[in-house]
Each structure stands twice: as C-alpha cells, then as structure tokens.
Homo-oligomer: A and B are copies of this chain.
C-alpha cells in the first residue's frame, strides 16, 4: 500500500481521497477549509496543516483544486507543496487549468527532483462512486507506468495521452461537449414541451435515445429537478469553456458551438444561477423562450 497525500478535498477530491483510503492506502489530506478534511478523519485521513506538509508526508501527492489561482496558491510560497518535494516524489495534478500553466508547474516540480503528471478526470461524482471514472494522463511515460496501478484504484479507465499538459488539453477538448450537449438538450426539451409533450416524457425519451451520453443520462433529469448541491456549477463550467476558447484562439481552431454555449452560461450567471449546476442553462434558455422565473 502506498503513502499518499491529497490536496483539495472538494466534491470530487474528497470522494477520491475516501476511495483511496478504502483501498487501504495511507492518505494525508489538506484542504483550505479545514472542516472538509476533518470530515474524512473518521475514514482514517491524517490532516496536514499546509500543502507543504502534505507533500512532505507522502510519496505521491494528488492535487485537485478549482482553478489556476487556487493551484498557484497551494503550489507556491513557503507553505506550498513545491517546498515539500524532493527526489523521487510524484505529483498527480487532477485540476483543470490551462495546458501552459500545467507544463510550467511540471517543470518547476522537476526542478526539485520530483516529477509530475497532469491527470484530469472525465465524469461526475456519480461516475466516481460507481467506480467508472476515466482518467487521462500527461507526462513522462515511465512516471505514468509507476502511477498507473494507483490511478486504477480511483477509476478503471486510465489512458496515457502524451507529454505534460496534453491530458489537460484533452480534458478541456472533451469538456466542450459536456457544456454544448447540455444546451442542445435544453433546446430539444423546450421544443418538445412547447409542441405539447410533457417535459418529463421529453427528458426520458431523449436520454434513452442515441444522443443519451452518460453525461446526459445523469444530468438531463436535472431540468426536471435541480440537485441540492451543484455537481459542477455554472462558473466552473464557464471556466473550462474559457480555457477552450483561449486555446482555440491560440491554435487557430474556430469553436462555433463552444462560443455560443459560453454566452448562454453568461446568461445563466446573469439571472443568478452561477452557483447552480450548469444544467441551469436550461433555465436561461426557458426564460429567453418567454417563461417567467
């Protein structure tokens, strides 16, 4: 069993740490809001006071935070995890940040003698709990080979994508479809409903048809009943689309449905649903279709 740390114990990170504990690994955890770490103490989580302590305590440190700023704040400075690294240690960064930032961070990690891979996931809380999460990995091939068994303790599909930064590129490229599929689904549901089909029937038919991706199968029903806690909120989704749009601009790839959907996420936030699951884009479209809310 391995000696691990997990930095960032949010909705996904916390569940992954718990999963690693359940597989018998020793896990030290760090979270900015300490209570989230304490909630896992009963499962055996040791609590670190700083990211540095977490990294110093483990052979492999997982990181999953919300955005570039959060990643910098746990990586840098005297208390940052880079300060806790030394030769042979490994960082598995599961955050979705820009590929450029990921590569830059990997390079700094390597400066300490440690190594880093970017390993974002595709899937939701549900997919994770079902043990079906896909993990994409970017970085050195040999490091990937060493980490693979550990990653398979989190999810069954672990794919080596290429050099550092490419896994986040792949994740961002995939997440385009997460957002766009949801808006196209919303268009269909509203069209069916205004035609005279009950909303619930429309959702059932569509999620069970050829367009019913795993994502739509769990998120499609949110247009009938929003979840108590956002699985992935509108602000976070828009952060990912913004990364995609920046990449498209830099690499010369026009992104017509991505850019269109991004503006509807702005509209979703504008009506006060920034912290709701981004399935709330349905509400923004329904409002534009004349619904009161």
Using a CB–CB cutoff of 8 Å, the interface residues on chain A facing chain B are: 99, 122-124, 127, 134, 136, 157, 159, 161-163, 165-166, 169-170, 172-174, 176-178, 180-181, 183-185, 187-192, 194-197, 201-202, 204-206, 208-216, 238, 242, 244-245, 247-249, 251-264, 266-267, 269-272, 284-285, 287-290
Contact = CB atoms under 8 A, between A and B. Distances in A.
Closest 8 CB pairs of A and B: A252-B270, A213-B213, A180-B184, A169-B195, A270-B290, A122-B209, A177-B211, A173-B188
Given A161-B197, A184-B177, A290-B270, A212 B209 contact: no
A205 B136 contact: yes
Given A190-B253, A260-B256, A261-B257, A166 B180 contact: no
Contacts of A127: 210
A163 B188 CA distance: 18
Count copies of this chain in the complex. Answer: 4
Contact of A176 (B162, B187, B213, B216): B187
B242 A181 contact: no
